[in-house]
């Protein structure tokens, strides 16, 4: 069985996103259950089978929502070795192009990993030559949290929330973000500032965003990094979905299609 925890706010094409998820999850003949975690204010529904909607928790954005979904899954379903888990948010096919080739890569590599070992997470892995520390845990790579797949061993090791990270941002100005240095080391502070307070174009043009928005994005980035740091500390293997020659070709194809889509996207 593969369980998908799909976190939504106000997706424009929910039914389309769910249909693509369902096709991906069941394409290899595996039974699937999609748990839709609603972190928005609207009430949503779907005509598809095997879909369940539950209220989320938006106190700390998708991470508190996923924590609520994980707890619900553990309480209401009988989970076991051999199960796979997919986590996605509603940007997986909006801000990224999730092609059939990418879906095929995820299915192929998750099957290979499940046969080879226990304890893996599969997704887009970003690596650096720098070692960072978040709440004293080191990391030099992390999984992009918009879409990832993991086995039951890694699922049990997941930690979505850390209260120290929620209060780690001490001040945000138009020029910089200041952190609690006992929680966020200097390299990680510089990394987040380079994204959210850049001298040039930054993440989602964040250099022009409201300071409260920047604070929230900083906390979200810290939680994404901490999630990976915890898994690394517990010896979970990270598998980059776009690794290898075929993976690089698929990634290049997806990026080109996404650039085309953005260029000709109709204004909402």
**Residue (of 58, 118, 124) closest to 97 by Cα position:** 124
Task: Identify the H or E element spanning 246.
Answer: helix 244-263
Per-residue model confidence as pLDDT tens digits over 151-168 = 999 999 999 999 999 999
- For range 64-90, the mean pLDDT: 95
CA 70 – CA 56 distance, rounded (Å): 11
pLDDT of residue 23 exceeding 90, the answer is no
Per-residue model confidence as pLDDT tens digits over 212-250 = 889 999 999 999 999 999 999 999 999 999 999 988 998
**Residue (of 178, 155, 153) closest to 167 by Cα position:** 178
Q: Which residue has the higher pLDDT, 253 or 58?
A: 58
Q: What are the φ/ψ torsions at residue 80 (nearest 5 degrees)? A: -155, 165
Classify residue 218 as exposed, middle or buried by CB count within 10 Å of its CB (0-12, 13-18, 19+). Answer: buried
In this structure, the strands spanning 2-8 and 84-89 are parallel
Highest averaged pLDDT of the listed ranges 89-98, 124-133, 191-200 = 124-133
Confidence at residue 200, expressed as pLDDT on a 0 to 100 scale: 62
C-beta of residue 57 within 8 angstroms of C-beta of residue 39: yes
pLDDT band, very low/low/confident/very high, at 203 (cuts 50, 70, 90)? low
Q: Encoding tokens for residue 166?
A: 């929620």
pLDDT of residue 267 exceeding 80, the answer is no
Confidence at residue 268, expressed as pLDDT on a 0 to 100 scale: 44
Confidence at residue 95, expressed as pLDDT on a 0 to 100 scale: 66
pLDDT of residue 17 exceeding 50, the answer is yes
CA 61 – CA 215 distance, rounded (Å): 12
pLDDT band, very low/low/confident/very high, at 36 (cuts 50, 70, 90)? very high
The residue written with tokens 């009988």 in the block is 78
pLDDT of residue 67 exceeding 90, the answer is yes
What proportion of the chain, given as a percentage, has pLDDT over 70? 91
Neighbouring C-beta atoms of residue 9, cutoff 10 Å: 17
CA angle at 110 for the pair 104 and 111, rounded to the nearest 5°: 90
**Which sequence spans correspond to the domains of the chain?**
2-263
Confidence at residue 142, expressed as pLDDT on a 0 to 100 scale: 96
3-state class (DSSP) for residue 121: strand
Task: Identify the H or E element spanning 241.
Answer: none
CA 19 – CA 22 distance, rounded (Å): 5
CA angle at 200 for the pair 199 and 203, rounded to the nearest 5°: 105
Classify residue 213 as exposed, middle or buried by CB count within 10 Å of its CB (0-12, 13-18, 19+). Answer: middle
């Amino acid at each position: 069985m593969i369980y998908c925890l799909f976190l939504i706010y106000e997706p424009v094409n929910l039914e389309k996103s769910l249909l693509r998820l369902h096709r991906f999850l069941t394409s290899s003949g595996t039974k699937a259950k999609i748990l839709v975690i609603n972190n928005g204010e609207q009430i949503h529904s779907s005509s598809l089978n095997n879909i369940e909607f539950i209220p989320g928790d938006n106190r700390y954005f998708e991470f508190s929502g996923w924590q609520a979904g994980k707890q619900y899954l553990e309480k209401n379903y009988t989970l076991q070795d051999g199960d796979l888990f997919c986590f996605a948010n509603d940007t997986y096919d909006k801000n990224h192009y999730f092609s059939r080739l990418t879906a095929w890569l995820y299915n192929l590599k998750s099957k290979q990993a499940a046969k080879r070992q226990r304890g893996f997470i599969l997704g887009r892995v970003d690596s650096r030559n720098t070692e960072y520390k978040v709440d004293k845990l080191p990391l030099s790579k992390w999984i992009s949290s918009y879409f990832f797949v993991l086995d039951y061993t890694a699922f049990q090791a997941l930690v979505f929330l850390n209260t120290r990270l929620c209060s780690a941002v001490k001040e945000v100005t138009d020029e910089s973000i200041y952190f609690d240095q006992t929680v966020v080391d200097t390299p990680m502070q510089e990394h987040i500032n380079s994204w959210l307070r850049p001298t040039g174009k930054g993440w989602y043009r964040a250099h022009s965003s409201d300071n409260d928005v920047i604070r929230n994005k900083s906390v979200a980035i810290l939680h994404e990094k901490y999630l990976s740091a915890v898994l690394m500390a517990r010896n979970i293997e990270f598998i980059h979905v776009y690794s290898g020659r075929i993976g690089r070709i698929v990634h290049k194809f997806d990026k080109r299609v996404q650039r085309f889509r953005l260029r000709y996207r109709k204004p909402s």
